[in-house]
Amino acid sequence: MFQNTLEYAKKQDAEDKLAQFRNKFNIPKNQNGQELIYLCGNSLGLQPKITSEYIQEELDAWAKLGVDGHTEGKHPWMPYHEFLTENMAKIVGAKPSEVVVMNSLTTNLHLMMVSFYRPTKTKFKIVVESDAFPSDKYAVESQLKFHNMDPKEGLILWKPRKGEELCRIEDLEEIMATQGEEIALLMIGSPNYYTGQAFPLKQITELGHKYSCMVGFDLAHGAGNIQPNLHDSGADFAVWCTYKYLNSGPGSLGSCFVHERHANNPNLNRFAGWWGHNKKTRFNMRYNFEPIEGAEGWQLSNPPILSMAAIRASLDTFADAGFENLRKKSEQLTGYLEFLLDEMKNDAINVITPRKPSERGCQLSIQLKNADKKLYDQLTKEGVISDWREPDVIRVAPTPLYNSFEDVYRFSEKLKSILAQDSI
Ligand SMILES: Cc1ncc(COP(=O)(O)O)c(C=O)c1O
């Protein structure tokens, strides 16, 4: 059904109801003022044009109101995080009470493990996928050490089989069948940052719960990309960032999901701070900590409003587009990219991301056999912003909010011509 021509790509863009959203973003340009082919939303999403207005609104409120901005103005700062909750909850398929925007991803992961990784002498192991993002590995290893466990003994890697790139669910089942009684936590990143493999969250959660393990997900590459349906998955917790597919700016705040069954459990340990305390009595400055019900009860500090303003701008853009529409377009865009790569009929190209749309988001991880970083450098020189992972993988992520079929076509043409050069 797809066609390998520029005319076809342009026709797809002309018929795309979401195409107008590209104009709502600042697309980086080269020195000649031409737009770059930006396929790096998996690393840093682009800036919506309304972001500066949303931030300016808060700068103005601060200038005009000073401290009174906490309670006055169009969007008072005291409840500011609440303005983000409903839209964020929709994006991850959660109830609003299960979601809160706060801190950054790794910090939230630690906070979640304080509550949901409660090892005993016999049940203490943690499972992560073998190619988990390094920060996740550092976090779980340091939690093991914090509880006086040896990571060599306590960390189980869910690995692809020899000669394969992707993790098989049967192998996780096998890990659980043999070591489930010793495992306290499954902590899986989905989609995996390197391969782009999206995992079946509900199936993994049910598997973990069958062995009385807690189950949490790192959705850094999931939020705003796939629909994780967190509430229905039954996961105990999840964490994600907002600077990738959620287009909220470098180092912007992360977000956190805590399933409602944990909303008001007094037996759960947590690291507490005043922003998690009952809103009605927070300013009475009483000493007994009384957590807000739900995910908000895990907040520590009063949050940075300027970063939250950027998140609000981005979430409003998502709400305008509709997540289901975006996902539909995303499958088409990535499907088109896959088609064009297949059309090259080049044995040096191996797409390691799953073929099934239900098992991936928008990213394709393209292994280029015998290539080195020169190829990526050449692509960059020719105006393609992608990302290189040693030893030989280029990750490209056409995102449905601001990428076009033409972007995908032009990328494939550039890759084809670079691969045809002898020097690469
Ligand atoms: C999968 C994954 N986990 C964790 C992180 C770390 O996030 P942060 O620096 O916000 O803690 C990243 C960052 O890119 C990531 O991709």
What is the DSSP annotation of 303-348? --HHHHHHHHHHHHHHHHH-HHHHHHHHHHHHHHHHHHHHHT--TT
Tokens of 45: 């999403």
What pLDDT is recorded for position 230?
98
What pLDDT is recorded for position 424?
59
What's the 69 CA to ligand 1 centre distance in angstroms? 32
Classify residue 73 by its DSSP letter: S
Question: Which ligand 1 atom sits nearest the alpha carbon of residue 109?
Answer: 11
Stretch (H or E) spanning 142: helix 134-146
* Cα 345 from Cα 342, distance rounded (Å): 6
What's the 71 CA to ligand 1 centre distance in angstroms? 33
* Cα 80 from Cα 313, distance rounded (Å): 13
Q: Which residue has the tokens 């709400």?
A: 319
Q: Which residue has the tokens 């005993």?
A: 120
378 lines ligand 1 (CB under 6 A): no
- The answer to whether 375 and 418 are in contact (CB under 8 A) is yes
What's the 309 CA to ligand 1 centre distance in angstroms? 21
The protein residue whose alpha carbon is closest to atom 16 in ligand 1 is 220
Residue to substitute in 109, 112, 131, 135 for testing ligand 1 pocket (most ligand atoms within 8 angstroms of CB): 135
The distance from CA 305 to its chain's CA centroid, rounded to whole angstroms, is: 21
Tokens of 14: 């002309």
What pLDDT is recorded for position 345?
94
Torsion region of 249: left, alpha or beta (phi above 0 gives left; psi -120 to 50 gives alpha): left
What pLDDT is recorded for position 264?
87
Q: What are phi and psi of 258, to 5 degrees?
A: -130, 120
Taking alpha carbons only, the member of 133, 132, 135 closest to residue 159 is 132
What pLDDT is recorded for position 423?
63
What pLDDT is recorded for position 239?
98
Classify residue 46 by its DSSP letter: P
* Cα 325 from Cα 328, distance rounded (Å): 5
Strand blocks (E) in 340-386? 349-351, 364-368, 384-385
> Angle 404-408-412 (CA atoms, 0-180°, nearest 5)?
165
Residue to substitute in 110, 113, 190, 241 for testing ligand 1 pocket (most ligand atoms within 8 angstroms of CB): 241
105 lines ligand 1 (CB under 6 A): yes
- Residue 272: Cβ within 10 Å count: 17
Q: What is the pTM of this model?
A: 0.96
* Cα 231 from Cα 93, distance rounded (Å): 6
* Cα 390 from Cα 375, distance rounded (Å): 12
Tokens of 228: 């994780």
Q: Which residue has the tokens 């009475």?
A: 284
What's the 61 CA to ligand 1 centre distance in angstroms? 32
187 lines ligand 1 (CB under 6 A): no
Digit-by-digit pLDDT tens for the chain (424 residues) are 899 999 999 999 999 999 999 999 999 999 999 999 999 999 999 999 999 999 999 999 999 999 999 999 999 999 999 999 999 999 999 999 999 999 999 999 999 999 999 999 999 999 999 999 999 999 999 999 999 999 999 999 999 999 999 999 999 999 999 999 999 999 999 999 999 999 999 999 999 999 999 999 999 999 999 999 999 999 999 999 999 999 999 999 999 999 999 998 878 999 999 999 988 888 777 778 899 999 999 999 999 999 999 999 999 999 999 999 999 999 999 999 999 999 999 999 999 999 999 999 999 999 998 888 899 999 999 999 999 998 899 999 999 999 999 999 999 999 999 999 866 5
Handedness of CA 134, 140, 141, 146 (dihedral sign): positive
What's the 245 CA to ligand 1 centre distance in angstroms? 12
Quick check: helix, strand or coil at residue 140?
A: helix
- The answer to whether 398 and 245 are in contact (CB under 8 A) is no
